[in-house]
Amino acid sequence: MKNKVALVLEGGGSRGMFTAGILESFLMKNINFDSIFGISAGALYGASFASKQLERNKKLNAYNDDKRYGGFKHLLLKGSYLSWDFIMGDIAHRLLPYDYDTLRTSADFHVGVSNCNTGKSEFFVVNKLDKPDIVSILTASGSLPFISPIVKYKGEEYLDGGLTNSIPYDVAFENGADKIVVVLTRPEGYVKSDMKFKAVSKWFYRKHPKVHENLTQRAQQYNESIQQLKVLEQQGKAFLIYPQKELNVGRVERQVYKTEAIYNEAIKFSNSFIPKMKLWMEE
């Protein structure tokens, strides 16, 4: 019986351009998965993969230094560093429109968000949703703490999916996967440090204490996930893809040449493991 193989995409802000490069290689080589799970940047770049749009993520990256994309002025005036109206409005519908028809026929694409009131992660199969709902969920999943407003959706309040589940491998298995291919945005051996400035976080999210709680527990949750993934790798249930080195970019990197270099390096790097990965998927 054929294995059900899921693709799991970590977030990581601008480090997600590593993921974008890996996904571009998968598209070029026509590598498909039975389901896709993404959070934060992994969800945003994963959407272009699910809709099978070659080079869309590369073209999207070219807007990073566009004034309309966001910045500190936008943060001061609008309460958000990123202009989601531009990213998920002008870009997603006019400048680089998603192929929604292909997206709807793709493998189930699960996007994770963090509920600000319950402190739990929630996943939506976005290619089964209407366009406005897809936009809301992708926006919520990529809304980074402190520099993004809370996203309200159907009576609930959401933020970045990575707050509650940085690498949703567990959700993939819960939804029937036999094996998982995981694209990470930190090099092998990385250990996340505890959060600094906890007092600032507690004050900033004083009306949403669960968000503060998630932030303070994030390092432990992330490190435990990595440890479990290593066990799954040894058991033959997970194929882990790491950057070869630390990706030296800002959380929201505005210098396009830096993120494009990461993207191009990821495409080249993929040639070293894809043959092995394809054999592993079929075992």
Residues involved in catalysis:
40, 160
Phi and psi angles of residue 63, each rounded to the nearest 5 degrees, phi first: -85, -5
Q: The tokens of 112 are what?
A: 């994770």
Pairing of strands 35-39, 179-183: unpaired
CB neighbours of residue 278 within 10 Å? 11
Buried b (16+ CB within 10 A) or exposed e, 115-125: bbeebebbbbe
Cα–Cα dist 10/40, whole Å: 8
Number of continuous H segments (helices) and E segments (strands) in the chain: 12, 8
